[in-house]
Chains A and B, each alone.
Chain A
Amino acid sequence: MQKAVLLLACLFLLQTNLISQDFNNYQPLESEGKIPEDFLTLSSDLYKLEKERISQERKRREKLSEQKFYLESSFELRDLLFSGKILFNDPVSKYLNKVADSLLAGEKELRKKIRIYAVKSAHVNAFATNSGMVLINLGLISQLENESQLAFIIAHEVVHFKNKHVLDNYVETDKIIRGKGMYKNVSLEEKLLARNNYSKEKESEADLEGIELFLKSGYSTENLLGAFDVLQYSYLPFDEIKFKRSFFQTENLVFPDEYFLEKTQDIAIPEEEDDEKSTHPSIDKRRAYISTKIDKKKNEGKKDFLISEEEFINVRKLTRFEICRLYISNLQYEKAIYHTYLLLQEDPENKYLNKMLAKALYGMSKYYNAGQKHVVHKSYKKIEGESQQVNHLLDKIKSDELNAIALKFCWKVKKRFPDDKETEMITEDLMKSLVFEHFPSRDRFSATAKSEFTDSLSVIDSTEMNKLSKYDKIKLNQEKQKIEEEQKNYIYFAFVENLQDPEFNELFDKYAKEKEIEDNKKEETYKERTARLKQQRKEARLKERKGEALGLDKIVVFNTFYLKYDMRKKQKKKYIQSESAEIALNQKIMENCDLAGLDYEFIDDLTLADKDVEKFNDLAMLNTWMMERFEHVENDVKMVNMDAYITEKLAKKYGTDNFYWMGIVNQRSKKTGTAYVFALTLMFWPILPVAIIYAATPHWDTYHFSVMLDLNKGSIDKVNLDKIKGRDADYLLNSTLYDTFYQFKRKSLK
């Protein structure tokens, strides 16, 4: 008995530990345990298996269509699984599976076929695959009100799988596009309509059969219809709270009135939606036919929460915390600001949330400074609800003002969490851009409180004024005018409190001095410029000839890819060949690293075993981080590494800063100019054999793409795109790879 109690207590502790997170030091969600089979099966093997299952009774064209579906879905799905967005065995996925267990308690066989994974995406969405995977976005979970709503969504997706809706949709769409059968001689508009109707039919089927599944479970229907509200208002944040002016304001820093809307735009009253052009039935229709199925009498004894309300709330909180990161990583800084603001209402001192807000402001400010406002800012006019205030503020604010406000907030966070390196980095970078791009000296800000400023002038009353000389009066008047002018610029008082802090002043002066030195640099003469350019050209030529000498000892090769295309065919991407070529490429990389004497480690989807969950997480992190960095590079915005803590940890773990991402794209296309070559043979017949060979051989192009990341510096060091004319012959790949690794390893050019 005692043992049983102890065991139960342990299980309880384990259970709570599984979902417990220190929200103050929130860590990104990661997959745990063994990597599921879905991730380890090669796409080509999966395709073979699914192809064998094609019913021989189907028409030839339908069989071909089904085959194409299996081919594309097996490979595209694998890309999604390793994109860094999919989670397994993490607290959220575990919880989703527990809900599925409760929902399908009476459908054991069906339950066995379903695998549920959480998707790191802020979009409100869920979908099922033909093979039985149900993928639910964190964005959807973050908006739900209870477990029963989640259970209904899972039930809906399970029906999609059970009734093979994804496949049927594909085959039918293919039929519609080709204009076969009943779609013969039908206009494009009618075709689109037919496709939408077919999709709507399947969605209704999923709803209706889904509710049947749901009703068999112990979940209550009382709050079920709220799931449709979630879908209806999925474009809004998870809550509607007024964004207060006081959030960024201080006694001295007061925004002009025009920066804030008196009233934000009301959330539109849903009109009867015309779903003719939609793939889903309208929310109203769905709500209506589901409500007909709900019988309140049969709801007795059923619950909104079968697992636990506490766990649901905890999981929902996890998703909301995770979404802050997702918004930042997708450059949706405005959404991140309001989302974090909402979460801060509950926990204003939360370190993670404060850091996220600091990062969002930093990102926003850097994009504004770089003249890339359009990339990160969405017009407030299209926004409904309270979050509109944030977009309005960021619409009105100028880049220098935003820089100052971001710095002020980050400084506050830095002071509150002095050990946080990332906040320190972004604060220093904000200070640097403030000085270099907007305010080169501290004199541009007032160290005196706004109230004192006004007081000092108002103390002089009219009798005292009369006692002053004519010239003193002029001077005083001029001073008044100057102050009034400065006061118009509210940012003049942004740092009144900060300028009392010696550390702030010291940092300001440091960059002011750097700026002064840079400004005083002698301008280059024409002769000096010519000499410098000549030297640069010489060095470039030498580099091209001799290559580089990076002197690296170890690299981590991650996420290699190999894409083979045949541009002459309808099915351009050669999926199966691409996968086998990627396996061979990985072998070549290992072989050439060995030959070059370069130590390496591999993190790639094709080399993972079920126990490699850590590598899987590292791969997910690297993919997400690199994509975010690429966005900044593409937009020409120089940002510090906002995830320095994570990248430095990775660099330390693998014993190197150098992470190498590479891939090959091989393309076969139609040869051009064959007619000209034959025309030439008419003039000079001996070249006929050459002309025949030219015409008979296909045109190939091979691209070698590579990126070297320095995880310690958090930078993308080298991006190369080499075009190799010709086929992707083994020797060319070996030669390219060895040459690359040789240059990595080489200590010097001599």
Chain B
Amino acid sequence: MRIVVFALLLLSLSTTIQAQPGYQGKKLSFGYNIYLSPAWESGNYSGSKAIYSYNTTHQAKVDYVVGRKSSLGLMYTFSRTSIDYSLEIFPGTNLYEGTNAIKIHSHGGGIYTRSYFSKPGNLAPVGRYVEFDFQIFDNVLTDKLVNEKVNRFQNGQIGISIGKQRVYFKNILFDLALRFAAVSPSISSSGIIQVYDQNLKDEAHKRLVKQHLLNIRLGIGFLAD
């Protein structure tokens, strides 16, 4: 990852002599995004299901303009949420039954490509765009009660975003977008503790699908020279 960023930086510096694409010739930008997904149906990380509750995803990214209307980027994403899980210690006996909260922490990374609409005023990285991204996530499930990791699985995600990016004060980028994503089934997993059955993993997967299906993205970034 570091090598890629370094290479992008070098490329950016070496091309300043010639006329180049990018907002006022600036091609490289760094940014932070927060994704908000409504949680009034399934609850957020702290279990709230209030109308104003959101699940949040945080993202750091590097964007590099490759053409007049296109850019490429790398991103690192972190998200968290939780699920209510019905626990049956002795299934079928009703000897112990209760609900517990399972925290889901996801870390992931990926790439994206953005295409800016061919409209006047749009010049990468400014203007309205469509973004396609692909990410791999490592999801860790932790029992809130005992604070112990109970499961871990990996999955992929492909997303499409439609948004608009603006520049203020010459270098500060503001991004507002709507992202739709599809979460793939688990591609590998490990460590189910006996008391938690396979159902937990499915519940977690369903939760992630819902969380990432539709998000509002708010971003802030810095446009490097």
Contacts and interface: CB of A to CB of B under 8 A. Distances in A.
Interface of A: 544-547, 591-592, 595-598, 702, 704, 722-726, 729, 731-732, 734-736, 738-739, 741-742, 745-746
Interface string B11-29: 0000001111101110000
Contacts of B91: none
A736 B120 contact: yes
Contacts of B120: 704, 722-724, 736
Nearest to A729: B166
A746 B67 CA distance: 12
A734 B121 CA distance: 8
Contact of B67 (A546, A592, A702, A732): A546
B50 to A, nearest CB: 14
Given A592-B24, A735-B127, A598 B19 contact: yes
B24 A738 contact: yes
B118 A738 contact: no
B101 interface: no
Most chain-A CB neighbours within 10 Å: which of B24, B122, B123?
A: B24
B90 interface: no
A722 B69 contact: no
Enumerate the 5 nearest inter-chain pairs by beta-carbon distance, A residue then B residue, closest first: A722-B120, A745-B19, A731-B167, A724-B121, A739-B123
B19 A597 contact: yes
A735 B122 contact: yes
A742 B65 CA distance: 14
Given A547-B68, A741-B19, 15 more contacts: A545-B69, A592-B24, A704-B120, A724-B119, A724-B120, A725-B119, A726-B121, A731-B23, A735-B24, A735-B126, A735-B167, A736-B120, A742-B19, A742-B20, A745-B19
Contacts of A702: 121
B96 interface: no
A731 B126 contact: yes
Interface string B61-87: 000000111000000000000000000
A32 B158 CA distance: 69
Q: What is the interface residue range for chain B against chain A?
A: 20 to 34
A735 B121 contact: yes
A732 B121 contact: yes
Most chain-B CB neighbours within 10 Å: which of A545, A591, A731, A742?
A: A731
A729 B165 CA distance: 13
21 contacts: A545-B69, A546-B67, A547-B68, A591-B24, A597-B17, A597-B19, A598-B19, A702-B121, A704-B121, A725-B119, A726-B121, A731-B126, A731-B167, A735-B24, A735-B122, A735-B126, A736-B123, A738-B25, A739-B123, A742-B25, A742-B68
A734 B69 contact: no
B68 A722 contact: no
B168 interface: yes
A420 to B, nearest CB: 40
A750 to B, nearest CB: 11
Nearest to B128: A725
Contact of B19 (A725, A736, A746): A746
B168 A731 contact: yes
A725 B122 CA distance: 11
A552 to B, nearest CB: 10
A295 B12 CA distance: 86
B19 A739 contact: no
A729 B122 CA distance: 13
Contacts of A742: 19-21, 25, 68
B100 to A, nearest CB: 31
Contacts of B20: 742
A544 B24 CA distance: 19
Interface in B145-199: 166-168
A734 B23 contact: yes
Nearest to A544: B118
Interface in B115-140: 118-123, 126-127
A739 B166 CA distance: 15
A738 B123 contact: yes
A200 B65 CA distance: 67
B192 to A, nearest CB: 38
Most chain-B CB neighbours within 10 Å: which of A704, A725, A739?
A: A739
A722 B168 CA distance: 22
A598 B25 CA distance: 12
Nearest to A726: B121
A67 to B, nearest CB: 35
Contacts of A598: 19
B68 A546 contact: yes
Contacts of A726: 121
Contact of A545 (B24, B68, B121): B68
Nearest to B173: A731
Nearest to B67: A546
B177 to A, nearest CB: 15
Contacts of A724: 119-121
A735 B19 CA distance: 14
Contacts of B67: 546
A746 B123 CA distance: 15
Given A738-B25, A739-B68, A597 B18 contact: yes
A701 B19 CA distance: 29
A726 B122 CA distance: 12
B70 to A, nearest CB: 9
B24 A736 contact: no
Most chain-A CB neighbours within 10 Å: which of B17, B19, B69, B119?
A: B19
Nearest to B126: A735
Contacts of A595: 24-25
A702 B119 CA distance: 13
A702 B121 CA distance: 10
A289 B192 CA distance: 114
A725 B118 CA distance: 13
A736 B118 CA distance: 12
A722 B17 contact: no
B6 to A, nearest CB: 25
A330 B180 CA distance: 59
Contacts of A745: 19
Contacts of A546: 67-68
A722 B121 contact: yes
A735 B118 contact: no
A598 B24 CA distance: 12
A731 B24 CA distance: 10
Contacts of B17: 597
A596 B19 contact: yes
B25 A735 contact: no
Nearest to A721: B120
Contacts of B123: 735-736, 738-739
A735 B24 CA distance: 7
